[in-house]
Amino acid sequence: MSHSDSSAPVFQHSAYAGIQDKVVVVTGGGSGIGLALAKGFARNGAHLLLIDINAQAMADAKGELQQEFPETRVECFEASVTDEEAIDAAFAHAKACFGRIDVLLNNAGVSINKPSLDITPAEWRRAVEINFSSVFICAQAAARHMIEQQAGVIINTSSMWGVSHSAERTAYCSTKAAVVSMTKCLAVEWARHGIRVNAIGPGYTRTPLVDELQRAGRLDVDALSKRTPLHRLGEPGEMAELALFLASGSATFITGQIYVSDGGWTANGF
């Protein structure tokens, strides 16, 4: 069964208590899972600040969001998530626009699949800076505002590879595993301020990038689907539903956890 098989079950959007009128910051919100996260929260009545290094993608995303959810206010801030000053400015902009920051969807990241002996120092540093250091930079910036409110939710995007392992994925697995550890540390430290910190671990997900890689012959989606017990890839919206639950009033006793949504991949032995 391929990822496009029409027999695959279609997930249902749900309504989540406690999201209406929340202010949500989304990093990497211009495309892929980040855009799906933004749409999911907009569908539930949240207002958004998108942070992305790709200004055009972010502008296109804003247009989509405003067309689909006209009551949602959407602001954009062009920045690299590895630039501490720019991130501080982005969160200050969110505070100035909306008066508070309720949720951070710490989503920006990069993939690197390469034999470990071939990874250059520059490639290693890039993976660490974007997949790991930036998550801390953004969480720290958000927490400074959330501590003032004594309330907030931070959801870090790790990966199923953050809890599993593979050859030629050393940089990716290591940095995503580090995000899981950071999530737990921050959850314990900031709980006294009313801040909950959790992580989501997407499996292979049908994003535009995955579709592009498939068309270019660089990714065998059918093989990935067969390896997945549910015999399909995930949908970006399914990852958004998971984040919505963790940010909602139904998850107020959940912190310091990672929730993996991978169709059973990590449970399936080779």
172 included as an active-site residue: yes
Query: Cβ(17)–Cβ(249) under 8 Å?
Result: yes
The phi-psi region of residue 207 (left if phi > 0; otherwise alpha if psi is between -120 and 50; otherwise beta) is: beta
Q: Which residues touch 81 (CB under 8 Å, ≥6 apart)?
A: 27, 28, 51, 53, 87, 108, 130, 134, 137, 138
Check 16, 172, 204, 259 and give the catalytic one. 172
Residue that has been written with the tokens 């012959």 in this structure? 217
Q: Which residues touch 9 (CB under 8 Å, ≥6 apart)?
A: none
Residue that has been written with the tokens 């890839």 in this structure? 233
Q: 121 burial class (0-12, 13-18, 19+ CB within 10 angstroms)? A: exposed
Consecutive H or E run containing 50: strand 47-52
Sheet of 152-157, strands arranged across: 74-78, 47-52, 23-27, 103-106, 152-157, 195-202, 258-261
Query: Cβ(156)–Cβ(135) under 8 Å?
Result: yes
Q: Give me the active site residues, please.
A: 172
